[in-house]
Amino acid sequence: MLFLSSDWKWTGPSEPMLLLQAALRERGHRVDLACAEAPGGAGGGLAREARARGLGPHLALERGRGIRPLRDRRDARLLAEWIARESIEVVHTWHSRDHGLALAARARCAAELAVVRSLPAAKLPSLAAPWNRWLFGPGCDGLVCVGQKNAERLQAVRGARPLASTRGVVDAERFSNAERFGGAANAFRSGSPRIGIVARVQAHRRFDLLVDAFALLAAREQRVKLVVIGRGTRMRELLEVPVRRRGLEARVEFMGYRREDYREVLARLDVSTLLVPGSDGSCRAVLEAAAAGIPCVVTRREPLPEIVLDRATGLVVEEDPEALAAAWSRLLNDGALRRRLGEAARERVRSACSPARHALEIEALQLAAVDSRRAR
């Protein structure tokens, strides 16, 4: 099979894709990767990370967005040649450009090729648009989405065509038993309970709610800290200025984007939180915190309540500062509850979100897509 991604960046859906690729290889499948290289001077990216893990890429695409047949003729030709030469049966795509390239390549090589599409975002494209109804209906042989509710919405355009939902995938062992990593991150001050958020700093992700709720909590809990792990072009406007206006500079740790020491930084949190999903609808940051035994407080934004089970693996609250602050306070002040929810979250992730289980689910969907294609 061939995994196809035209996004060169190391974004939210990238690591789950590589975890899946590695797990499918362990099951005996040959899985190639076609993706775009990072532009000169951009540093990392998907291709670089794939190489570091021994996962390719095997074919280089041009960088681009959207479906543009004239622009993408070269890539479609290269893909068609690769598919024919390597006897590829399944092309698994993650973005609209990938999807269009796979369809164009199939038309060129006249292969009995199954095209599978993953929709990794929490929010579905508009299914009222005829183009989307075709693309996610007859336009793909298999479709993977995040969350059961999204699967129910997509059923209207899928009909009898193969459809699967996923809870996400995380390498739980990488984050479990976090104490063994050793050495606290230097940026932390010791002796303070810590609430943390791992997210790109964007306006739609409700950092205004985060600051409002923390201001309430900080007034009641004199030692608590807020740890922000992430970056964004609007960091100053959305976080730094509001924090300074409320006089909370000494109570908020701006950690930026972490890579080499991310596990260590994450392991020092007592409670995690996420308010609005980002580009990865499976909310990998929540899964990683759960794998480290850290309970999470989330809002009712879908699919968060499917990922964090209220009062079973974490707490689910309304988008209200007082409700959010109260949930944080409850977990910080009840060690037994915090440990119970954290352990339950860890066990759920280990069983439901492992790469091995995810590979089994996607393998079944891909095989059904191949059968569906051949039956036409």
Structural domain harbouring 288:
172-352
pLDDT tens-digit profile of 134-165? 999 999 999 999 999 999 999 999 999 999 99
Does position 187 have pLDDT exceeding 90, yes or no? no
Q: What share of the chain is helix, strand, coil (3-state, %, to 5)?
A: 45, 15, 40
Backbone angles phi, psi at 278, to 5 degrees: -105, -140
For 93-132, write each residue's pLDDT tens digit: 999 999 999 999 999 987 789 999 999 999 999 999 999 9
Burial of 54 by CB count in 10 Å (0-12 exposed, 13-18 middle, 19+ buried)?
Answer: exposed
Per the structure, the count of domains in the chain is 2
**153 and 224, same structural domain?**
no
Neighbours of 286 (CB within 10 A): 26
Q: Is residue 324 located within the same domain as residue 232?
A: yes
Q: What digits encode the pLDDT tens for the residues 169-183?
A: 999 988 886 544 433
> If we measure between CA atoms, which residue out of 111, 159, 81, 157 comes closest to residue 373?
111
Q: Which residues of 334-362 are buried (b: 16+ CB within 10 A; e: fewer)?
A: eeeebeebbebbbebbbebbbbebbbebb
Q: Which residue has the tokens 């393998």?
A: 363
Q: Helix (H, G, I), strand (E, B), or coil: what is residue 263?
A: helix
What is the average pLDDT score of the chain?
A: 92
Q: Check whether residue 244 and residue 118 sit in a common domain.
A: no
> Looking at the whole model, is its pTM more than 0.85?
yes
pLDDT value of residue 41 = 60
CATH code of residue 273: 3.40.50.2000
Same domain, yes or no: 76 and 89 = yes
H helices of the chain, in order, are 14-26, 46-52, 73-86, 96-109, 130-135, 148-158, 172-175, 207-220, 235, 241-245, 262-267, 284-291, 304-307, 321-333, 335-352, 355-374
Distance separating the N- and C-terminal Cα atoms of the chain:
20
Residue 73: CB atoms within 10 Å: 12
Same domain, 313 and 274: yes
For the stretch 256-301, pLDDT in tens is 999 889 999 999 999 999 999 988 899 999 999 999 999 999 999 9
Residues 157 and 185 in one domain: no
Residues 346 and 218 both lie in one domain? yes
- Beta-bridge partner residues of 166: 146
Sequence-ordered alpha helix ranges (H) in 87-178? 96-109, 130-135, 148-158, 172-175
Each residue's pLDDT tens digit, 188-207: 445 789 999 999 999 999 99
Q: Are residues 139 and 93 in the same domain?
A: yes
Residues 281 and 311 in one domain: yes
- pLDDT attached to residue 45: 92
Q: What pLDDT, in 10s, does the model give residues 214-244? A: 999 999 998 999 999 999 999 999 999 999 9
For residue 26, give every residue at least 6 positions away whose Cβ sits within 8 Å of its Cβ, in sequence order, or none: 356, 359
Domain identity same for 313 and 282: yes
Same domain assignment for residues 8 and 136: yes
Both 243 and 132 in a single domain? no
Q: CA 284 to CA 118: how far, in whole Å?
A: 16
